[in-house]
């Protein structure tokens, strides 16, 4: 029993040390004028690297955050640092601040204006949540991310310009705010669910079947949409925008770049989708459980195809029979075509490098496939429970027999070579050295066998 106790203590100590070795060290709170702050040793070299503002005097009226304290740069406004300070009417944020933390200014009812420097890259969840007087927001050019509910219920916030460089706007980021107009950048790659929920921007479109904000489709007023076609100038379709609707035909027009996560998820009536070649991203589960979808032609410019994009769960499979992977796509992600049981033909483009786990799981109608030489990795179970009986792998590093196929005979021939039953010429040696370690041995045979088992 004593041994068990010692072992448990040792393991706990080891785990604690392991965690401490990778987590930045934060010193205790100190004060600077009206502010409370902590120093952070990010690289654990016992030398503090930067300062995080963690709090403020509850009676503060006007605060100017310094760019540095005791020689250390101020990089972050921490979680709840100014939360619910009703007296605060002015705050100046200096260059060097990189992150506005979660709930940082939540409930500052008398703060009317915020100007962020160009160094800020992230506005975290609820950073400016429920600031009833906030009417003037200027965002810096370095901003990348606007988090969930970042400006939720900012009822006096009427206009916004989102600067070029911003990549994502989170779920309900501007929900229940006073927005009447907003300019979105070309860089924008994602808009979360209900990002503009219950704003004048949306409420003014109550008679329209589909809601637009600037040049993005962000939602709908009804499930009963038989036909959907993007307007000219549309750049993106937000997450969940038409999910669960009864749309039967959809046309994603030229100029659209992004089809968001879950955009058409569970659209069981969708039979036809036309996607312009301009689309570069199809998000996670974008067309999952569209079990009546007849045909999909992936766009030529596609560079990102999300996990589960065309997968089917708990329903009869979509009648998609063929898929051509465009040349600019480098990876087929996890479960992308899972349970597409009618899928018979897959043509792989010249740019594909990787086929991920369960990508074609349970594609029972898929009997054969050619894997071109450009494919470098096929993950475990990529074709699990598919109907494959013939796999042609156009990779000279695997084809020890030189018959144009990679199969069990290649592993067997390597095994025979190892036992001295056959000899390899230079070309055959190159092909048989599967793991490229300069020798042909049992590990090459095992590697090919594992590839086939995948």
Task: Work out the pLDDT band at 453, boundaries 50, 70, 90.
Answer: low
Task: Work out the pLDDT band at 315, boundaries 50, 70, 90.
Answer: low
Give residues with Cβ within 8 angstroms of 287, minimum separation 6. Answer: 263, 264, 265, 267, 270, 273, 293, 296, 309, 310
Residue 24 has pLDDT above 70, yes or no: no
pLDDT digits (tens, 9 = 90+) for 371-385: 998 998 889 899 999
Structure tokens at 404: 């144009």
Structure tokens at 223: 């499930």
The C-alpha atoms of residue 403 and residue 228 are separated, in whole angstroms, by 50
- Check residue 219 and give its pLDDT: 97
Tell which residue, 311, 210, 329, 208, has the closest CA to residue 265: 311
**Least confident segment among 63-67, 119-123, 218-222, 427-431:** 427-431
Name the DSSP letter for residue 392.
E
User: Taking all residues of the chain, what is their mean pLDDT, rounded to a whole number?
Assistant: 91
Tell which residue, 384, 386, 317, 394, has the closest CA to residue 352: 394
R_g of the chain, CA atoms, integer Å? 28
Q: For tokens 């200027």, name the residue.
A: 138
- Check residue 414 and give its pLDDT: 86
Residue 16 has pLDDT above 50, yes or no: no
The C-alpha atoms of residue 414 and residue 400 are separated, in whole angstroms, by 7
369 beta partners: 391
Q: For tokens 């808009």, name the residue.
A: 191
Segments making up each domain of the chain, as ranges: 22-203
- Check residue 415 and give its pLDDT: 86
CATH superfamily of 22-203: Ribonuclease Inhibitor (3.80.10.10)
- Check residue 19 and give its pLDDT: 45
- Check residue 278 and give its pLDDT: 98
What is the CB neighbour count within 10 angstroms for residue 407?
A: 17
Task: Work out the pLDDT band at 137, boundaries 50, 70, 90.
Answer: very high
Name the DSSP letter for residue 398.
T
Task: Work out the pLDDT band at 366, boundaries 50, 70, 90.
Answer: very high
Structure tokens at 158: 């009427």
pLDDT digits (tens, 9 = 90+) for 316-342: 677 899 999 999 999 999 999 999 999
- Check residue 6 and give its pLDDT: 37
Residue 10 has pLDDT above 70, yes or no: no
The C-alpha atoms of residue 21 and residue 15 are separated, in whole angstroms, by 10
Task: Work out the pLDDT band at 31, boundaries 50, 70, 90.
Answer: very high
Are 441 and 366 in contact by the 8 Å Cβ rule? The answer is no
N- to C-terminal Cα separation, the chain: 45
Are 364 and 343 in contact by the 8 Å Cβ rule? The answer is no
Residue 8 has pLDDT above 50, yes or no: no
The C-alpha atoms of residue 441 and residue 443 are separated, in whole angstroms, by 5
Structure tokens at 319: 């009648």
Q: How many residues does the chain have?
A: 454
3-state secondary structure of 235: coil
Q: How far from chain centre, in Å, is Cα 340? A: 23
CA-to-CA dists, residue 55 to 34, 37, 60, 307, 371, angstroms: 8, 7, 11, 41, 58
Rounded mean pLDDT, 247-273: 97
Are 98 and 120 in contact by the 8 Å Cβ rule? The answer is yes
The C-alpha atoms of residue 431 and residue 443 are separated, in whole angstroms, by 14
Task: Work out the pLDDT band at 26, boundaries 50, 70, 90.
Answer: low
Task: Work out the pLDDT band at 351, boundaries 50, 70, 90.
Answer: very high
């Amino acid at each position: 029993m004593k041994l068990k106790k010692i072992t448990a203590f040792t393991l706990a100590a080891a785990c604690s040390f392991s965690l401490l070795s990778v987590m930045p060290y934060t010193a205790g709170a100190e004060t600077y004028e009206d502010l409370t702050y902590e120093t952070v040793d990010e690289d654990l070299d016992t030398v503090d690297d930067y300062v995080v503002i963690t709090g403020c005097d509850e009676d503060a009226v006007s605060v100017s955050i310094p760019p540095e304290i005791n020689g250390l740069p101020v990089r972050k406004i921490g979680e709840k640092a100014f939360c619910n300070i009703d007296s605060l009417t002015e705050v100046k944020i200096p260059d060097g601040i990189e992150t506005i933390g979660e709930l940082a200014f939540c409930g500052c009812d008398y703060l009317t204006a915020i100007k962020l420097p160009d160094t800020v890259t992230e506005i975290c969840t609820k950073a400016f949540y429920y600031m009833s007087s906030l009417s003037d927001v200027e965002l810096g050019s370095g901003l990348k991310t606007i988090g969930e509910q970042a400006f939720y219920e900012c009822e006096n916030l009427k206009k916004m310009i989102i600067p070029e460089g911003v990549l994502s706007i989170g779920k309900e980021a501007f929900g229940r705010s006073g927005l009447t107009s907003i300019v979105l950048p070309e860089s924008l790659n994602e808009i979360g669910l209900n990002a503009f929920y219950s704003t004048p921007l949306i409420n003014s479109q109550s008679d329209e079947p589909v809601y637009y904000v600037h040049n993005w489709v962000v939602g709908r007023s009804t499930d009963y949409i038989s036909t959907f076609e993007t307007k000219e100038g549309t750049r993106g379709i937000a997450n969940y925008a038409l999910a669960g609707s009864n749309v039967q035909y959809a046309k994603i027009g030229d100029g659209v770049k992004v089809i968001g996560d879950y955009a058409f998820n569970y659209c069981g009536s969708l039979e036809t989708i036309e996607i312009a070649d301009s689309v570069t991203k199809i998000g996670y589960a974008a067309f999952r459980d569209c079990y009546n979808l007849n045909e999909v032609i992936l766009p030529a410019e596609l560079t990102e195809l999300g996990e589960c994009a065309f997968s089917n769960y708990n329903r009869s499979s979509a009648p998609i029979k063929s898929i051509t992977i465009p040349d600019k796509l480098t990876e087929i992600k996890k479960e992308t075509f899972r349970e597409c049981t009618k899928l018979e033909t897959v043509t792989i483009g010249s740019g594909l490098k990787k086929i991920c786990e369960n990508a074609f799981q349970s594609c029972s109608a898929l009997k054969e496939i050619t894997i071109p030489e450009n494919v470098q990795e096929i993950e475990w179970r990529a074709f699990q429970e598919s109907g494959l009986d013939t796999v042609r792998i156009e990779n000279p590093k695997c084809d020890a027999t030189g018959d144009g196929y990679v199969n069990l005979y290649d592993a067997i021939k390597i095994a025979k070579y190892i036992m001295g039953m056959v000899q390899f010429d230079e070309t055959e040696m190159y092909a048989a050295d599967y793991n490229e370690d300069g020798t042909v041995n049992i590990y090459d045979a095992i590697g090919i066998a594992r590839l086939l088992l995948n």
